[in-house]
Structure 1
């Protein structure tokens, strides 16, 4: 199988402190299977590569989606133009209660496909059935920071926190380091202060970060 050569593409160099003339530089990209072998100016044998013309195109590092519920692609358009709490309580939470692990897997696969097609290579996701999210991420080839959503008013809050810890220990660093994990307290309105403090201490013990909804609406500022 021939290597792929993207020829004469504009490269976004990402050199810190560079001026505009240095930020974009014409060059080539050589790809061998799943790996980028070379970037810039280099010699190559035209008989050994498949050439893709990169003229009028820009190559840049993958985009990062910093907050997702990937499987909610299945609910796209289900309930629009509503305030947050009615949207959650009347529409989203009842519908989510009917989702299962298979729904989450395929919803995540769909979201990953859409992200890849739009240039996103990394996403941070907080949801449930996260083992399925992690598996879909492995299979899609993406990079992700994953967290099980935690609710602090749940009678099983202690058990759910332990499940989150188990998830982190299972998946942290999987996929040759493409998967990393956090703890995911849902929001201040679903996690009381004492529960948030417990989650924070647990995160410190596990040496992971937190993924939380914050300042979502004007009401949180009043």
Structure 2
């Protein structure tokens, strides 16, 4: 892992993050087969899906965008991995800007801009009926984050460039969130893609409970994967005097 560093993502890096995410999920059941069935014909258009989502979510202060960068001999950064962690629950609400903060306008303005962007430059790689499948699926599994698990650092996105997989980059991006959750004494959570259960278990998510594809009428019902994994905070050592 020599040369790999984690840092906050820059807004200007969203196109590079989008390209990497497209490549990382090229054969994924959800993002590729369901949402982007025409990606072979329009390979660049799938980037639009990631760009539009990121340009809106980037201004949500409950979300933390991290990139893993590889520095070359000249010190130039190459983005090789990305993670988007979201702080759920009351702890996340405390991360929002004050209601008078002008930055609060950035997210709704970005949402409007991306709506117009999608109207002007349609994503030809996607199935229009499935482009919002994830958003429509939330009511079927969002109750998993209630009770003792209402407070959580949720790993919403993890992608590593195919040319750099196997170097421990994903583990490092995962560990950032696990450390924050432990510091705050809340759980960490993730919805696992097909074939990634073992990775998340080895990374520290030691409890599987719930599935994002279950429930009659769930638009993700035919998507493989979707197991929800958790990492509860470790008990702190206390000394009795």
TM superposition score category, shorter chain reference: under 0.3
Q: Point out which structure has higher relative CO (alpha carbons under 8 A, 6+ apart).
A: 2
Is the strand fraction higher in 1 or 2?
A: 1
TM-score by length of 2: 0.26
TM-score by length of 1: 0.28
